[in-house]
Amino acid sequence: MGSNPHGTAELAGFKYRFVPAVQNSSRTLLLLHGTGGNENDLLDLGRSIAPDAALISPRGKVLERGMPRFFRRLADGVFDEADLLQRTAELAEFIELACRTHDRDPQSLIAVGFSNGANIACAMFFKHPNSLAGAILMRAMVPFQSQTPPPLNRKPALMLSAENDPIVAIEETERLAELLAGADADVTLQWSHTGHNLSQPDIVAATRWLEALV
C-alpha cells in the first residue's frame, strides 16, 4: 500500500495515482481511463473540470494485447459479464480503501469514466451504487444486458455521448439513459457531433455539470 501524491502507488492490487485536493475541497474524482490508458491519462482532464478536487486514478488490471482495461470483453461491444462482475467488486474494494487511505469522503466521490472506464462506472451503478455519489459517463454502454440497476435515489449521472460514435450506437446510449432514469438516477444526456474521442464540448459540459452539483 502506498500514498505518494507525486507518483504511482499500489492499493488492493491496483496501481494508481492520487493527487491531493486544493484549498481543502471535499470533492473527489475517481478517474477511469479507456482501453490502452493508464493511471496518468485523465489527470489533466480531472484537474481541468474540477480544479480543486482530489483525484484518484487507478490503472485497469486486465490486459488486452498489452493494453490495460478494467474488465475483459469477448469481442468488440460484447462484455465478459462474469469478469465484469468480479472486476466491479474489486474496484468497489479499491474505492473504499483509497478513500480511507487518503481521508476522502466516499459520499463526495464522483466517477469520471471514458469508454471502458465509463462502462465499469456504469457497472458500479448496477452492482455497487453506494460506492459512488455520481458519475460522468463519457461514451458509455449498457454493462449488463439482462439486468437493471437497483434504486439509485436521484444519484446524478452525466452521459456525454456522440452522434458519430462508431463504437457506441445511438440506440445503446438511449437504452442506458432509460435504464438509469428508470432506476431513479438524475440523468443528463448530452450529445456532441463528434466520434468516440473526447472533445472540447465534453470538457465544457463536464465542468458546468460539476459546478452545478450541490
Of 33, 102, 165, 202, which is the active-site residue? 165
DSSP states of 90-112 as a string? HHHHHHHHHHHHTT--GGGEEEE
**Is residue 115 annotated as a catalytic residue, yes or no?**
yes
DSSP states of 130-194 as a string? GG-SEEEEES---S-TT------TT-EEEEEEETT-SSS-HHHHHHHHHHHHHTT-EEEEEEESS
Separation in Å, CA 112 to CA 30, 158, 198: 6, 9, 12
Q: Would you say how long the chain is, in residues? A: 214
**Is residue 165 annotated as a catalytic residue, yes or no?**
yes
Of 80, 83, 196, 199, which is the active-site residue? 196
For residues 196 and 162, what is the distance between their CA atoms, to the nearest angstrom? 7
Of 57, 102, 108, 115, which is the active-site residue? 115
Residues with a known catalytic role: 115, 165, 196
